[in-house]
Amino acid sequence: MLCYVVPCRAVSHCAPHHSLPHNRCLCSSQILSLQEHGLDFQRLLDASAYKEQYRQDMIRWGEEKRRADPGFFCRTAVRGAAQPVWVVSDTRRLSDVEWFRDAYGDAVLTVRVTATEETRRRRSWVFVAGVDDAESECGLDQGVTFDWVITNDGDGAALGAQLEALLQDVRSRL
């Protein structure tokens, strides 16, 4: 098994034709909680005003879960995963990466997807103090050595070439 651990920033704009089985560090109980509160899960995945309206509450809820059980989101993301290669995106903290490395050792391949702030603003992102500078958003900005760093600033050809190189690396490890 080979496991990618991918922080969330800029992931949603990756080229879809380079897809692998994908597990988010978001579990069915979270989705049920969102549904119970009448929230649209798909709309919470983009950079819309809808997401921003509920973002602080989601962060607070996630922090409470992590305080009670630091591995909660990681375990639920991989529950039932049987394919030889899978992607876990939306990791947000050093403890998430450490959990995967402890659980899966050398099978973990960490990938960071980056985009400049200018690119992110073009994609409707607006910095919110107290949210975008919180651990939930930048907990992996320091202290992690990533195996791969992919730049996603809107150049489809450059992104495709980076993803193809990454996929060749993955294939070589199987």
Q: What is the 3-state secondary structure (H, E, C) of the chain?
A: CEEEEEECCCHHHCCHHHCCCEEECCCHHHHHHHHHCCCCCHHHHCCCHHHHHHHHHHHHHHHHHHHHCCCHHHHHHHCCCCCCEEEEEEECCHHHHHHHHHHHHHHEEEEEEECCHHHHHHCCCCCCCCCCCCHHHHCCCCCCCCCEEEECCCCHHHHHHHHHHHHHHHHHHC
49 band by pLDDT with thresholds 50, 70 and 90:
confident
pLDDT given for residue 31 in this prediction = 55
Q: 136 or 118: whose pLDDT is higher?
A: 118
The answer to whether 33 and 61 have CB atoms below 8 angstroms apart is yes
Q: In angstroms, how far apart are the furthest CA atoms of the chain? A: 44
pLDDT given for residue 33 in this prediction = 57
Q: What is the pLDDT of residues 98-109, one digit of tens each?
A: 888 888 888 888
pLDDT given for residue 23 in this prediction = 47
Percent of the chain with pLDDT over 70: 77
Judging by beta carbons within 10 Å of its beta carbon (0-12, 13-18, 19+), is residue 125 exposed, middle or buried? middle
The Cα–Cα gap between 68 and 75 comes to 14
Most confident of 57-61, 131-135, 164-168: 164-168
Q: What is the pLDDT of residues 68-88, one digit of tens each?
A: 988 888 887 788 877 777 777
CATH of domain 2-9+26-173: 3.40.50.300
Most confident of 10-19, 22-31, 32-41, 153-162: 153-162
Q: Where are the domains of the chain?
A: 2-9+26-173
**Which amino acid is it at 64?**
E
